[in-house]
Amino acid sequence: MSRDGETKSGIALTEKQKLSWLRLIRSDNIGPVTFRDLINHFGSAEAALDALPDLSRRGGAARSPRIATLAQAEREMETATRFGARFVGIGEPDYPPALREIDGAPPLIAMKGSSATVIRPSLGIVGSRNASINGAKFAAMLARQCGQAGYTIASGLARGIDAAAHAASLSTGTVAMLAGGLDKPYPPENFRLLDDIYANGGATISEMPFGWEPRARDFPRRNRLIAGVSLGVLIVEAAERSGSLITARLAGDFGRLVFAVPGSPLDSRCHGTNRLIKDGATLVTEAADILDALSPMMEPRLDLQHVVREGTGDQPISQIGDRAGDKERAILAEALGPSPVETDDIIRHTGLPAATVYLLLLELDIAGKLNRHSGGRISMIMAD
pLDDT at position 4 is 42
What are the pLDDT digits (tens) for 107-140? 999 999 999 999 999 999 999 999 999 999 999 9
Q: Residue 189: CB partners within 8 Å, gap ≥ 6? A: 159
What are the pLDDT digits (tens) for 83-104? 999 999 998 999 999 999 998 8
In the chain, % of residues over pLDDT 70: 90
Is the bond preceding 187 in cis, omega lying within 30 degrees of 0?
yes
Three-state SS at 111: strand
Task: Please state, in angstroms and rounded to a whole number, the distance separating the CA atoms of residues 213 and 262.
Answer: 34
**Orientation angle between helical segments 32-42 and 45-58, nearest 10 degrees:** 100
Tell me the pTM.
0.87
Cα torsion angle, 201, 206, 209, 214, sign: negative
What are the pLDDT digits (tens) for 153-205? 999 999 999 999 999 999 999 999 999 999 999 999 999 999 999 999 999 99
What are the pLDDT digits (tens) for 343-375? 899 999 988 898 888 888 888 889 888 888 877
Mean pLDDT of the chain: 90
- The one-letter code for the residue type at 157 is L
For residue 175, which of 262, 281, 97 has the smallest C-alpha distance? Answer: 97
What are the pLDDT digits (tens) for 309-343? 675 443 433 444 455 788 888 898 888 888 999 98
Task: Please state, in angstroms and rounded to a whole number, the distance separating the CA atoms of residues 242 and 212.
Answer: 23
Question: For 266, how many CA atoms within 13 A lie in the half-sphere containing its CB?
Answer: 0
